[in-house]
Each structure stands twice: as C-alpha cells, then as structure tokens.
Structure 1
C-alpha cells in the first residue's frame, strides 16, 4: 500500500498513553495534524466522550487501545466495549474515518482478547463509517524483555530450539508512520492491513543472537518447553469454574503457550500456513538497531 499524503486533519486519538499511542501522537503532530488525546475518563463516560469529539470537531478517530492483561474481563471491557463506545461516539460526531490498531494474531483466535478484537473488527466493518484495520506483527517491545538478562550475563530464554515461531517485528516509529499514512488514503479505506517491519523474518533464537551481538557477548541460550504452559493451563483450568483468579491465571498460561508456538505472520489462505512472503513490510528501523539503542541508553 502506498502511504497517503493527507492534508492536516483533526484527529481524536484513543490510547495515547500507551507505547504505540505515544508514537502515533508524536507522528501526527510532526505531520501537522490537530490531535486531541482522549483520556481514560472520557473513554469510560459516553457523554464525556461525545462532548470531547464534538469539541475537537474530529474528522478521524484512531484507536490504539488494547487490554493490558488479555484476561477475559479486561478484553471484553477494553478491546470490545470501549472501542464500541468510541465507534458510537465517532458516528454521532460525523467522523469520516476510524483507524483501528488490532493485531496479526486474530487470524487464529484461541484467546479471549483475540475474540474480543475480532468482535469489534466485525462491528466496525459493518458500521458504515470509513474504516481501516491495521494488524501489526510483533512489536520491538515484545522482543526486548530479556535485554537486562543478557546485560547481566544470563542466558537468553527460548522455547524448544528457538525456531518454533517467526515474525517480522516493527518499531513503534515505523508503525506510527504506517498508521498516519492511512489517513484519508483511498488504498487503506475499507481494508484490513497486516504489516511487519523491514527485512527477513526472525525466530526467537535469531532475536537472541542479535541481542548478544549488540551486547558484544557470545550467545548463550536456555530452552524452555512450551508444554509447561499447556500443563499449567490445564491444572489452573480445573478450578476456573470456582475461582475467577484461577480462570484468569489459566488464560495467562494459554496466552504464553500461544506466543511460544504461533508465528506472527500472515496466514496463506491456500495452505493454512504462516507465510513470510505474504506478510507486507514497512519502514527502515531494525531490531538490531533497537537493541543497540537500548544497550547504549542503559
């Protein structure tokens, strides 16, 4: 998809306090758009939300909100209900385009937050408003949790041999530029857009090797079996009907197993397999660059 060259517009941004939302807000400002960041209090109050969109005279709404935990109640409240309220307010305010940040993993929905995201995606697509759904692959942040471990001389943790999954991670900045490029872009309207970062796909082992290289250390790995998460989910699930806490923990175990075993790439509809070739690329920032930046900043 070619990036749009939209004139400056009035944008209402939900989720500006999050990592991606912050990057989107900065990119919108850099491009000269008038940005209104919607607060959590506004998003929780339909009247306040409608008033905020009206006062901003919003032409475009961008939603970067997402449940933090992925637990069923959180997913229902944030990924579905808050977005649904935002959509209703956008329609009432005469907004012409709603850009939704979703996730590539909804292609194979096995988890509560994925089902909640898909439920809203369907509602958005049927709403009649101009829409664009952006489904990124892995974020740099999701592959940066072991920087401190490696810096401290500890091994990098992998699942199995470290090659069970692959992805095309995309930086916050590149993703923000892709999202703002969808504004008033005819090629983006009415479409679901998967997007990854530049370069070949990488496995978890590849990510570890990049991190060790950036740190100037020889690679050291410790393998963990994804089966431990399946076992934990099964044990915790036995008490889920009696305890909300156990049900939530069981879902966390299922989430961990999913990310340990499923690639973050587009699924080829002809084969049902993950496809690097079908996963679009965008941007210039690489994971290796990101690791070097993190290590230099510490």
Structure 2
C-alpha cells in the first residue's frame, strides 16, 4: 500500500489523523513547515506549502493526501493551489480536505478563505472529499480563556455544536481510506449548547468564578451565528462532550469572583 500524506500533521487535528491512519496499518508522511515531534511510525518532511519547496518529492508515490494545514494569518488559498498543482504532477488520486460548517452562510473572512479552497478542489479535476465540521473544543476553550481574564465576561448570544478533534480525526481517516466522495455530510459535535452554558463549564473546570453578561453583538457575521448557521442541526456525530474535553485539558485556577449568571441559558 502506498503512503498517505497528511499536511499540517503536527497540529491538534493533524496529529490525531496521523495516529488513526497508523493504527489502521497505513504508512504516513507528515508535512509541516516546522519540525515537531510526530507519531511513532510516521515520517516527517519539512515542506512550506506556500512555496512548494520539497513538495514534489514528498508526494512521489502517493495516492492520497489529507489536507489539514491551515492558518488564520492568510495564505491558505495559495497553499491549496500549490498542493493541487503538485498533486496533479504526482498522480495523486484522492485529496481529503477538512472545512467548516457554515462557511457559505457566515461572512467571516477566514470562512471565505475556506470556501475558496473548497471551490479550488471542486474545479481541480482531482478526486476529492470535503468534510465540514463544527467548531473544535480547542477553539471554544480558547475563546473563553481570553474572555475569562476579565471579572466580567461578555458572552455572545449564540450557540455552538463543539466537536472533539478525536472524533473528527477518526472520520477523516475513514474518508482517506475510502474512495473520493465529493462533499460528504457535515460532522457535528454531540450537543448544541448556548455560549453561556459553555462559558460556565469552562469557568467551573478552571476553578474561576466570573460574572457572565449576555451580549448581543451586531453585524452580519454574528447574525449568522445567531441563526445557527454554524450548526449541523440534525446530526450529532461526535462522542466527546465539552466537559469531557475540559476534564483532560483545562487548568484550574483559584476562584476570585462570583458567577451571577444563574442557571438559565
């Protein structure tokens, strides 16, 4: 069997995809700009997708690529063009891409970039599979870790369907081991939660007490989130809840303030 390449294979999602593929008995090549520890049994290749240096060699003899590399600082569209061109030259037959639920309905700049990459794949002529997932637990934790620095925490009136990278990685690995399927059904977490309940869960897990204040943020972006465009709605694929994630990843700190938010949503 030919090796499977995972771009961004040292990231929070990518490294779990690597482990899933290794556990399935596949040889895995990890591509990343920065050398970091990778899963035992995988092979690391330093490649900058923006320039393509070293990419042709890394894709030699490869049929399948799982594209997890992404950055909020820009360059994803260029990286995708570079990867697609190299994949064509190498004869890659299947490119699997992780995207985000609601990118065609919420005008967030990063979402527009993800949608543009989807369009590139659709027009590439390559066999491809696109999986859109809801927000990762790590993102929700990061949001409330920043907001929780203040004694008064503004909580946007919106909902999340947070999903664990372990669940998403398992699905991506399953797709990578199969045939190209185009855009497959969206992948959602096990629960739809309002932001206030998630904030309270985070504060409880970290031993903080804060005043939670619901805030209705204006604008088209937040309107999309309030409509639930970031939710799968009728699918609850993931198994790991936000509380289970926090039990493993949250760091407790001394309590200083009172949560006056009550038990309502």
- TM-score, normalised to structure 1, is 0.69
1:284 alignment partner in structure 2: 239
Q: Please say if residues 106 and 224 of structure 2, whose CA atoms lie closer than 8 Å, have aligned partners that are also in contact.
A: no
Seen in structure 2, the aligned counterparts of structure 1 residues 62 and 219 have a Cα distance that, compared at 3 Å, is same
In 2, the alpha carbon distance for the partners of 1:31 and 1:156 equals 44
Higher helix share: 1
1:33 alignment partner in structure 2: 26
Structure 2 stretches lacking a partner, 5+ long: 34-46, 254-265
1:226 alignment partner in structure 2: 217
1:63 alignment partner in structure 2: 67
Q: CA deviation at 1:125?
A: 1.6
1:153-186, CA deviations, whole angstroms, 9 ceiling, x for partnerless residues? Answer: 9454302xxxx32222111111111110112435
1:1-298 mapped onto 2 (5 Å cutoff): 9-40=2-33, 41-46=47-52, 48-54=54-60, 57-69=61-73, 74=74, 77-78=75-76, 80-145=77-142, 146-147=144-145, 154-159=151-156, 164-186=157-179, 189-198=181-190, 200-214=191-205, 220-227=211-218, 257=222, 261=226, 263=228, 264-266=230-232, 276-277=233-234, 280-295=235-250
In 2, the alpha carbon distance for the partners of 1:109 and 1:224 equals 19
1:210 is paired with a residue of what secondary structure?
Answer: helix
In 2, the alpha carbon distance for the partners of 1:118 and 1:142 equals 19
Question: What is the count of residue pairs matched by the alignment?
Answer: 238
Q: CA deviation at 1:148?
A: 7.9
In 1, the alpha carbon distance for the partners of 2:117 and 2:206 equals 42
Runs of 4+ in structure 1 displaced over 6 angstroms?
A: 216-219
In 2, the alpha carbon distance for the partners of 1:39 and 1:213 equals 35
CA RMSD of aligned residues (A): 2.9
Q: Please say if residues 72 and 110 of structure 2, whose CA atoms lie closer than 8 Å, have aligned partners that are also in contact.
A: no
Larger displacement relative to structure 2 (36-45 or 123-132) = 36-45
Seen in structure 2, the aligned counterparts of structure 1 residues 216 and 81 have a Cα distance that, compared at 3 Å, is closer
1:245 alignment partner in structure 2: none
Q: Please say if residues 187 and 236 of structure 2, whose CA atoms lie closer than 8 Å, have aligned partners that are also in contact.
A: yes
Q: CA deviation at 1:220?
A: 3.6
Q: CA deviation at 1:30?
A: 2.4
Structure 1 stretches lacking a partner, 5+ long: 1-7, 231-253, 267-275
Q: Please say if residues 59 and 87 of structure 2, whose CA atoms lie closer than 8 Å, have aligned partners that are also in contact.
A: yes
Seen in structure 2, the aligned counterparts of structure 1 residues 259 and 125 have a Cα distance that, compared at 3 Å, is same
Q: Please say if residues 215 and 292 of structure 1, whose CA atoms lie closer than 8 Å, have aligned partners that are also in contact.
A: no
In 1, the alpha carbon distance for the partners of 2:182 and 2:154 equals 40
Q: Please say if residues 65 and 101 of structure 1, whose CA atoms lie closer than 8 Å, have aligned partners that are also in contact.
A: no
